[in-house]
Structure 1
Amino acid sequence: MAFGKGHHLHLIDGSAFIFRAYHALPPLTRKSDGLPVGAVSGFCNMLQRYVEGNTGGDVTHVAVIFDKGSHTFRNDLYDQYKANRDAMPEDLRPQIPLTRDATRAFNIACEEMEGFEADDIIATLARQAREAGGRCTIISSDKDLMQLVGDGVVMMDAMKGNKVIDRDGVEEKFGVGPERVVDVQALAGDSVDNVPGAPGIGIKTAALLINEYGDLETLLDRAEEIKQPKRRQTLIEKREQIELSKKLVTLDDQMELAFSLDDLEVRDPDPDVLLEFLASMEFRTIVRRISEKLEVEPPVIEDTPAASQEGEDASEQPSFDEARYEWVKDEDALKAWIDKIYARGYVAVDTETTALNEMRADLVGVSLCVEAGEACYVPLAHKGGAADDLFGDDALAEGQMDFEAALAILKPMLEDDSILKIFQNAKYDAKIFARNGIMAAPIDDTMLMSYAMNAGLHNHGMDGLSERYLGHNPIEIKSLLGTGKSAITFDRVAVEDAVKYAAEDADITLRLWQVFKPQLHRKGVTTVYETLERPLVPVLARMEMSGIKVDRDTLSRMSNAFSQKMAALEDELYALAGEKFNVGSPAQVGDILFDKMGLEGGKKGKTGKYSTGADVLEDLATEHELPARVLDWRQLSKLKSTYTDALQTHINTETGRVHTSYAITGANTGRLASTDPNLQNIPIRTEEGRRIREAFVAEDGKVLVALDYSQIELRILAHIADIPALKQAFAEGHDIHAMTASEMFDVPLDEMTSEIRRQAKAINFGVIYGISGFGLARNLRIPRAEAQGFIDRYFERFPGIRTYMDDTVAFAKEHKRVETLFGRQIHTPEISAKGPGAGFAKRAAINAPIQGTAADVIRRAMVRMDDAIAHLPAKMLLQVHDELVFEVDKNAADDLIGVAKDVMENAADPAVKFDVPLVVDAGIGDTWAEAH
């Protein structure tokens, strides 16, 4: 029957499936001859999931569309089209034709055409389906295909839980409807495909322009009307380039195809053909799975000497089936799992608790998994009644072991050196177990494996990793707990529901480990993971559990003092403004600055209110007093709310101490982040900010010791960029900021003023972060021209820094990543972007090797520290960027400083030999402020 009304066409973007499979899975070779087949295996699994997910649905026609060859009509239009794309990996090349064979084996139409991209074939078929009165779903997330959406055509992202992208989704992505996507793309260009576009115009600006002028042609015809000179000049001078770009991004939906829609009818696979192909690839797991579904005898795959078995289990995994998860109810069942674990030698473990804060959470249950698809949950503390039970039933639910008895069985295994315990975010579970008397070790951590390989590419939470690398959307926790005020805790979840959720977590963790473990070596980050990430987990867990004492009375007094200072500042502001206003209201501050005082630079947002963010006020503060005072008021307000008030709520009632939680994956560069409370962001530039540290105190009979790397990032810059003047100054122990000031401003050292030194210090640190004239002007509250002059002079005096910056950006553009001296990789996917984000991406790439190397140094020191100070009555409590804080008996403080200083100053050895010495400053005090 001819394709028409009521028919539904699915078009699968074949290249997206292939590259997803190749990059997401470890390498796999066919055992009989060593042929690379990892991408083929992943591709087959994705096709199988697609077939299973759409069996019995309304799909009537389907095809997988591939690219054929690399030269298309677009290369004839523009010879640089896609010229900057990396060459296809050698081990992927032989797999490409096999993916076509796989598609045909599944009895799905497989189409490609010489001289045209897959996108053009998809465009033509989508148009034909629409015109015939049917519907079309394009299975891809490729932004280039979004121009096709509308009138019965949608897209579906199979990698994100089959998320549908309709007209609203396109508008969310591009800021315009599908019919104007090509206009926006023509302006914004595309660094991936090397489409030139209009220099300096990104997606957001392009969308604004197209929405204002209606379409690209009108915009170009009326370019003279554009108010911004640079933008106007670009649109006029680059018109031909922009029009060419539109031709490059516009899909050809008028192709003459050698087949018709009717040829794409859905067909059931022939079991013999499909299984024969899969068997020839030697994919044992998927052969077994499909044979079971089709209820046929699986073909025999001969066992041959393994050319490489790496990653087989990871890429050929069974489907997720909650019916196979076991509810462990008694000792015999748990001991049977312990036997399985010892037979295997490793186990994925996950804990379920009542809260996210490990120091306040109670253990509710433990899940275990030793083989993909087979997992169990050991419930321990689920309550029988629901949270809103009229009688508040706190009795334990049926079918649970005695809490202590279960932990007694688990403890020897969790502490056994011969069993590897695999976690996702091991630090959380380690602390939960530690608070229950179990020291889980040794460990692996899938979150940290992902971080070591993929920092800068995506987040490392389990749900996201499962979607990305396993193609599976886990059960959402909010489906069990609810949200908002009516949310319950996990101990109130019915056990049968908890089993499915908790066991799935352990199952996912094991599968992620099977995917990631072999990839560490392939991606060259095994050393980073083994020396900088994994060993840090127990170190941080101990620090967090120790916590630090905070004096509530001191905080309370500070809060009152800040309130008084804020009131005094408010009086100053009223005098400057000539009237009273609400300083805490951004809208009223905007009205005073831009309407009443008539200052320039006022911009209104969508709400019609002036923007008065820190960047706006910092710019104004270089010229005016009132915005500078508003910034001071806001700083005090933040100190009061975030620290002197909020810190009091973080004091643990059981310990009397504050227990921050460190996020190892908190920053792409390797720097730690801290939460609940955030101790990394206590401001130290202002006197008030520094005073916050007075509230952190030592216990009676003890003191706090702070050890801080002196100017470590400048020292690393001097080494990496090979700056002789800086290296010499550090080697001879000079005041580096005074030396820089002397070099830049031709002021002899003996005539140096604190103001000149302060400016040099701001420039020294600013340059590391790629600061602009705008940024330095804000920091020093001086005019931009003067600030830019400082920066220009800096680069004249230290030309090696400019060379380092240019070389680093060039490396990042070529490799899409930068590296620290210790091998940490920080990916830079936006490095070739255009528009406002371009400058940020470059600055981040320049700074990452420096900041990341500094972060690696202090990590190495922390990993070695516990053993080094084990003989002393001391504990390491805090890490704040380049500083470590310890609590130690008063009579052992000097001994601690000697040992800890030695560890920190030699932390880079033997991996890296710096040309400049690392110097650590030490301080002792009853409070952190005194020690710092």
Structure 2
Amino acid sequence: MKKIYLIDVSSMFFRAFFAIRQLTSPKGMPVNAIYGFLSMVTKLMKEEKPEYMVFCYDRKEPSFRHDMYVEYKAHRSDMPEDLAVQIPYIKQLADILGIPAVEIPGYEADDIIGTLTKVGKKSGIEVVIVSGDKDFGQLIEDGVILYDTMKDHRYDSAGVFEKWGVRPDQFIDYLAIVGDTSDNIPGVKGIGEKGAIKLLEQFKHLEDIYENIDKVEGKSIKQKLIDAKEMAFLSKKLVTIATEIPMDHNIESYRLRPRKDEELRTYLREFNFKTFEKNLLGEAGSAPMTSAEAGKAYYAEAATPSAAPDALATPMLAEHQTKAFNEKTLSTKELAGMFAANQPLWGFSDTRGIFIGTDADIISVSDAEFLGKLTDTFKVNWKGYDLKDLWHKIGAKNPIADWDTMLAAYVLKASDTSDFSKVYEKHMGEPLPEMASPSQTYNAHLHLAKTLDKKLHEIHGEKVFRDLELPLVKVLLNMENLGVRIDTDLLHKLSDELEKEIEVLEKQIHEQAGENFNVGSPKQLGVILFEKLGLPAGKKTKTGYSTGEDVLEALEHPIAKLVLQWRELSKLKSTYVDALPAMVHAKDGRVHTSFNQALTTTGRLSSNSPNLQNIPIRTARGQLVRKAFIANPRMKLLSVDYSQIELRILAHISEDPNLCKAFAEDLDIHAATAAEIFNIPLKDVNAEHRRTAKAVNFGIAYGQGAFGLAETLGISRTEGKDIIDRYFTRFKNVREYIDNTIKLAHEKGYVETLFGRRRYIDELQSGNAMLKKFGERAAINAPIQGTASDLVKKAMIEVNKTVPVRMLLQVHDELIFEDFTENLEKLTPQLVSIMENVAQLRVPLKVNYSIGDNWDEAH
């Protein structure tokens, strides 16, 4: 999700001044605040990679608050002279780094931040307020966090409550009561933080306190409130951050602009900031290669035969040789004139915008949407890092993927490879320059791509990369662009129902506890459970007692069950029921999830905004969430789901005759397994037999032992061991598969899927017995789950290529489609045939399918 970073300059600059020892420039000027502030900003830009950032300034002249209260900030001392002389250089820094800066006469930086917070929320962008000022607690809500870079701590709504003891919506009332000595805000004299928290626990807001003044406990507190009523409400006005001040409300005005590198170098040298110069701009004083030097390097490289016949089409540079490129900005007309059909083209972006690279040029793109249409027309062969993200940014609808460095790194070792700088450092053995220039960035892309291409050949990973991952990028792009329709009316109704149920549960929990407390606070819950109620405490964390699901399930007290129910409904409400309507795109009324192709260790896809993999289906309430995923008018949804794909893969890999026979005869695999384990005829298998066999079947694929099976079934470990022993007696080849896989994993350090996808298992080298055991279980499961993932990806590519039906979603082993009923009925047989024949195994692949008005009906 895009983010906008709102920098409270005064707060961060002032803190940097006092946090860093005295530093002076060669001319003797104090520069410690500049140094500290620059450190914070460059670290933020490097690690967070924001697209939008704003420096928000206070003004010297009084703000509108002085008109309300002449004593506002009257006690503030003058700014230290050593700090004051550094301020103009901070404003200069904003211009050099391309960071938009805002100051508004009559208003404070807080009000600018408050208004931009609202602008960001309206634009669907996450807001990060960078400040150490607690006053911003009042702005925190879903999609807005407070980030204190000095303490490296982020506060969301729960964090605000944990830190200050009140909710964000009560924060103004809290400040109105306690006041603020630094700003000379009076508050209620004699009532401090603890008193304010207690009042706001009993009454929601300041107005409620005064409306119910007779109910306030304690004569002294009541009298203090009565005496300070006028000041309390004045204080509330003074501490309230304005969110609608007159300023530019166009979010695009706050996008980062290109950095002015030569001016930056001059700026850094003036203060003798050599480390910054090296990190941000390369070695101090070094010059890029001349065109002639670059040409020699290019032709020397081109004359060397490649070890890989199908290496990248774009000529690569010799290792770590830097090529000089012409950096330019072209008009749309000039851009159209430079393309040829099917030409290779690099694309990359950073906080300054989108760039395309050719053999000689780096071109800054001003009209991203035009670029997408233009490159689609010329059928450009795209190379880059995370092409799907780039294509979304330029609006490409029918692009061609020729190389994606992110996916190459992912195939080499499955993990989160979404951060280019981290992948570059890992494979190149050196960090990227901080806030690298376009030329430095492009050279880094070329060097890294060449290195990874070579490594792919070394591990024979080209097939997985070229046949599965690369073609899938366009399929996922199309799915994300299509999105899925959401029934917001149903979700709003469900939200109201859940809210009432949650309130009832919360009341019951408070009754069991004997007092009111924040059920969502693990710290407060731990105190209630293990100190007040005296229940047996489990493990203790740094922040208090552990109150995880496993701990609560083990407690024999009604409050534990109620808390688990409260958590389940609260999570369902916040994560899906309330969140989904906010994700609906205004233009088409659909939710557009984002599929993560390079994240999981098994090769499976994941998704976010929303996370489709965790949509609940077991409870009636959870199923209602699936009902909210609906088809367009006059259309239907089709769900096609692989049946027991992992067990079929296990049968194929192990070549176990009993497993293969059961699938070949299309038997109920769990009933068939039960018949083998308990040595009874298939017709005599009852529900309990089948439940046990199902637990064994799924547990075996995940390396589950006797202890795990016993926990799942609620039986003794001895019984669990006996069942597993009987299983392996009847399915001997499965035992051999497990033993051989673990042995080979220890020898090689990795396992492979049927398609050659590797999973390296570092835990096998651990001296920790538990970690090593985890690694062995992963080794058993990875070839099975990874092959299932590969089969689903292969099916998606084939279906997308041959069946003209709209593919919307992929969840585990299920694909969701949308089309007119007659089209679905006509095309489903072809679609099913492709999915069932996408690979030939020793046992048949089978899919189940259904058509309905919503996902729940079709599932």
Structure 2: distance between partners of 1:459 and 1:550: 31
Task: Map residues 501-900 of structure 1 onto 2, 5 A cutoff.
Answer: 501-502=437-438, 504-567=440-503, 569-570=505-506, 582-591=518-527, 593-595=529-531, 600=536, 602-607=538-543, 609-618=544-553, 620=554, 627-746=560-679, 748-773=681-706, 775-780=708-713, 787=720, 790-835=723-768, 836-870=770-804, 874-900=805-831
Question: Alignment partner of 1:879: what SS?
Answer: strand
- Provide Cα deviations, 1:622-666, integer angstroms capped at 9, x if missing partner: x77654554343222211111111111111111100100101112
Question: Alignment partner of 2:762: what SS?
Answer: coil
Structure 1 pair 661–879 and aligned structure 2 pair: CA distance change class (3 A): same
Task: Assess if the C-alpha contact under 8 Å between 2:418 and 2:599 holds in 1.
Answer: no
Task: Assess if the C-alpha contact under 8 Å between 1:876 and 1:884 holds in 2.
Answer: yes
Q: How many residues align?
A: 567
Structure 1 pair 577–719 and aligned structure 2 pair: CA distance change class (3 A): farther
Task: Assess if the C-alpha contact under 8 Å between 1:426 and 1:443 holds in 2.
Answer: no
- Provide Cα deviations, 1:820-844, integer angstroms capped at 9, x if missing partner: 0011111112222122322222222
Question: Alignment partner of 1:427: what SS?
Answer: helix
Task: Assess if the C-alpha contact under 8 Å between 1:434 and 1:440 holds in 2.
Answer: no
Aligned partner of 1:925 in structure 2 is: 852
Aligned partner of 1:319 in structure 2 is: 322
Q: Which amino acid aligns with 1:888?
A: D
TM-score, normalized by length of structure 1?
0.55
Aligned partner of 1:168 in structure 2 is: none
Structure 1 pair 600–722 and aligned structure 2 pair: CA distance change class (3 A): farther
Q: CA deviation at 1:862?
A: 0.3
Structure 1: distance between partners of 2:561 and 2:477: 41
Question: Alignment partner of 1:451: what SS?
Answer: helix
Aligned partner of 2:403 in structure 1 is: 444
Task: Assess if the C-alpha contact under 8 Å between 2:317 and 2:446 holds in 1.
Answer: no
Structure 1 pair 562–748 and aligned structure 2 pair: CA distance change class (3 A): farther
Structure 1 pair 917–465 and aligned structure 2 pair: CA distance change class (3 A): same
Question: Alignment partner of 2:838: what SS?
Answer: coil
Structure 2: distance between partners of 1:304 and 1:570: 71
Question: Alignment partner of 1:377: what SS?
Answer: strand
Structure 1 pair 862–423 and aligned structure 2 pair: CA distance change class (3 A): same
The answer as to 2:353 corresponding to 1:368 is: no
Structure 1: distance between partners of 2:755 and 2:400: 26
Task: Assess if the C-alpha contact under 8 Å between 2:417 and 2:599 holds in 1.
Answer: no
Question: Alignment partner of 1:534: what SS?
Answer: helix
Equivalent of residue 904 in structure 1, options 825, 828, 835 = 835
Question: Alignment partner of 1:519: what SS?
Answer: helix
Structure 2: distance between partners of 1:302 and 1:834: 47
Q: Which amino acid aligns with 1:454?
A: K
Task: Assess if the C-alpha contact under 8 Å between 2:628 and 2:854 holds in 1.
Answer: yes
Structure 1: distance between partners of 2:715 and 2:531: 24
Structure 1 pair 574–789 and aligned structure 2 pair: CA distance change class (3 A): farther
Question: Alignment partner of 1:671: what SS?
Answer: coil
Structure 1 pair 303–425 and aligned structure 2 pair: CA distance change class (3 A): closer
Question: Alignment partner of 2:474: what SS?
Answer: helix
Flag structure 2 segments of 5+ consecutive residues without an equivalent: 1-285
Task: Assess if the C-alpha contact under 8 Å between 1:662 and 1:673 holds in 2.
Answer: yes
Task: Assess if the C-alpha contact under 8 Å between 1:371 and 1:510 holds in 2.
Answer: no
Structure 1 pair 905–887 and aligned structure 2 pair: CA distance change class (3 A): same
- Provide Cα deviations, 1:439-462, integer angstroms capped at 9, x if missing partner: 332432111111122225x73521
Aligned partner of 1:431 in structure 2 is: 392
Structure 2: distance between partners of 1:764 and 1:823: 25
Structure 2: distance between partners of 1:677 and 1:568: 28
Structure 1 pair 601–770 and aligned structure 2 pair: CA distance change class (3 A): farther
Aligned partner of 1:349 in structure 2 is: 347
Flag structure 1 segments of 5+ consecutive residues without an equivalent: 1-287, 354-363, 381-402, 480-499
Structure 1: distance between partners of 2:552 and 2:842: 41
TM-score, normalized by length of structure 2?
0.60
Structure 2: distance between partners of 1:794 and 1:631: 35
Structure 2: distance between partners of 1:379 and 1:512: 26
Task: Assess if the C-alpha contact under 8 Å between 2:401 and 2:471 holds in 1.
Answer: no
Q: Which amino acid aligns with 1:865?
A: V
Structure 1 pair 737–578 and aligned structure 2 pair: CA distance change class (3 A): farther
Instruction: Kindly indicate whether structure 1 or structure 2 has the higher relative contact order, using CA contacts under 8 Å at least 6 residues apart.
Output: 1
The answer as to 2:430 corresponding to 1:468 is: no
The answer as to 2:421 corresponding to 1:421 is: no
Q: Which amino acid aligns with 1:349?
A: G
Structure 1: distance between partners of 2:390 and 2:305: 38
Structure 1 pair 330–540 and aligned structure 2 pair: CA distance change class (3 A): closer
Structure 1: distance between partners of 2:300 and 2:802: 54
Structure 1: distance between partners of 2:723 and 2:420: 47
Task: Assess if the C-alpha contact under 8 Å between 1:348 and 1:368 holds in 2.
Answer: yes
Structure 1 pair 574–472 and aligned structure 2 pair: CA distance change class (3 A): same
Structure 1 pair 636–522 and aligned structure 2 pair: CA distance change class (3 A): same
Structure 1 pair 791–645 and aligned structure 2 pair: CA distance change class (3 A): farther
Structure 2: distance between partners of 1:764 and 1:526: 33
Structure 2: distance between partners of 1:626 and 1:777: 26
Question: Alignment partner of 1:455: what SS?
Answer: coil
Name whichever of 786-795 and 646-655 sits farther off. Answer: 786-795
Aligned partner of 1:79 in structure 2 is: none
Structure 2: distance between partners of 1:780 and 1:645: 35
Task: Map residues 252-291 of structure 1 onto 2, 5 A cutoff.
Answer: none
Structure 2: distance between partners of 1:814 and 1:823: 17
Question: Alignment partner of 1:830: what SS?
Answer: helix
Task: Assess if the C-alpha contact under 8 Å between 1:674 and 1:680 holds in 2.
Answer: yes
Structure 1 pair 784–651 and aligned structure 2 pair: CA distance change class (3 A): farther
RMSD of aligned C-alpha atoms?
Answer: 3.8
Task: Assess if the C-alpha contact under 8 Å between 1:710 and 1:920 holds in 2.
Answer: yes
Question: Alignment partner of 2:810: what SS?
Answer: strand
Question: Alignment partner of 1:924: what SS?
Answer: strand
Task: Assess if the C-alpha contact under 8 Å between 1:704 and 1:924 holds in 2.
Answer: yes
Structure 1 pair 797–588 and aligned structure 2 pair: CA distance change class (3 A): farther
The answer as to 2:412 corresponding to 1:453 is: yes
Structure 1: distance between partners of 2:630 and 2:787: 31
